[in-house]
Amino acid sequence: MWWFAKPANPYVVINFVVDFTNARAWLARVRAQTGVHVSVQHLLAGAVGRTLAAFPLANAQIIRGRIVLRDKVGVAMPVNLLGHEGGAKRELGAMLVDDAGRSSVAALAEASARAASKERTGTSTNPLIGAFTRIGERAPRRAVFAAMDGFEAVRELPLVSRLVYRAAPATTLLSNVGGPLGELQGALFRGGAVHPPPRLAHVGTVWGSSAVQDEVVVVDGAPAVRPMLPVLLVFDHRLVDGVVGGRMAKHFTRILQDPAAVFGEDARTTG
């Protein structure tokens, strides 16, 4: 805690790629057999949930210099509003899956679809985010900044922090940071870095991905073209060190390499 005290930044970034061959085939089978539209993002949310459930310190929050363990993995994800009714005022919305560590991928897909549909109408699915959004849309800029500063001044007080977590139990973020590059021929996503600002709430990890892209990799000692998923993992070094961060990346990779073993052939196996 002392070593990474402000203004030091405690976040460490890992970039890696995962062979998505088996995961792509599994997603196709699930859609064909169940009729549930399970996307790459839903599978990633499930893999993030299972990984953080296996490494609970990475799922903790730091409040007033103390580590607070959380018993659920809350995954916050952005929702693109452009081209929808809600995009008239905002580019992005946000949705939250509050028990991704135990939920099935099918359940995550169904819950996410409902939340995204509501967000795209311009209605926030989270009361806390909705309140800040309404303030931002209606109040003068100075009043908005004053309200946010006031919230920052008190949000780590014990009672307030409990209320904030109850209203928005997010412990990690998942975003498709390089998605647009998937439409560009002749370009490959190679990674990025993000340092979450210490405002509103603390998250122990941020996960990002790009579109699946064909790359030449070594398979059984020979070059082969495989669909590869670039992944970005950002973790708070106050919670876990580089060794544990590497183990988390390996755990996450193994889930994507054989999702049926973790989530079942019908994507309905719970944790």
CATH number of the domain encompassing residue 207: 3.30.559.10
Residue-by-residue pLDDT tens, the chain, 271 positions: 999 988 889 999 999 999 999 999 999 999 999 998 999 999 999 999 999 999 999 999 999 999 999 999 999 999 988 888 888 878 888 899 989 999 999 999 999 999 999 989 888 888 888 887 888 888 898 988 898 899 999 999 999 999 999 989 999 999 987 666 666 778 888 888 888 888 888 999 999 999 899 999 999 999 999 999 999 999 999 999 999 999 999 999 999 999 999 999 999 999 8
Please report the pLDDT score of residue 195 as a whole number: 86
Residue 85 inside a domain? The answer is: yes
- Burial readout 136-156 (b: 16 or more C-beta within 10 A, e: otherwise): beeeeeeeeeeeeeebeeebb
Q: Which residues, in sequence order, are bridge partners of residue 17? A: 230
Distance CA 41, CA 143 (A): 36
Structural domains in the chain (count): 1
Residue 254's SS3 state is helix
Q: Is the pTM of this model over 0.85?
A: yes
Which residue segment(s) compose the domain that 231 sits in?
A: 11-263
- Return the pLDDT at 197: 85
pLDDT at residue 96, rounded to an integer: 93
How much is the pLDDT for 88?
A: 83
Whether 30 is in a domain gets the answer: yes
The sign one gets for the Cα dihedral 82, 86, 92, 97 is negative
The answer to the question of residue 4 being in a domain is no
Question: Is residue 230, in this structure, part of any structural domain at all?
Answer: yes
95 located within any domain: yes
Is 3 among the domain residues? Answer: no
Per-residue pLDDT at 112: 93
Instruction: For residue 99, tell me if it sits in a domain.
Output: yes
Q: What is the pLDDT of residue 155?
A: 92
Residue 155 lies in a domain: yes
Kindly tell me the number of DSSP H helices and DSSP E strands found in the chain. 8, 9
In angstroms, the Cα distances linking 10 to 62, 135, 150, 205 are: 12, 31, 24, 11
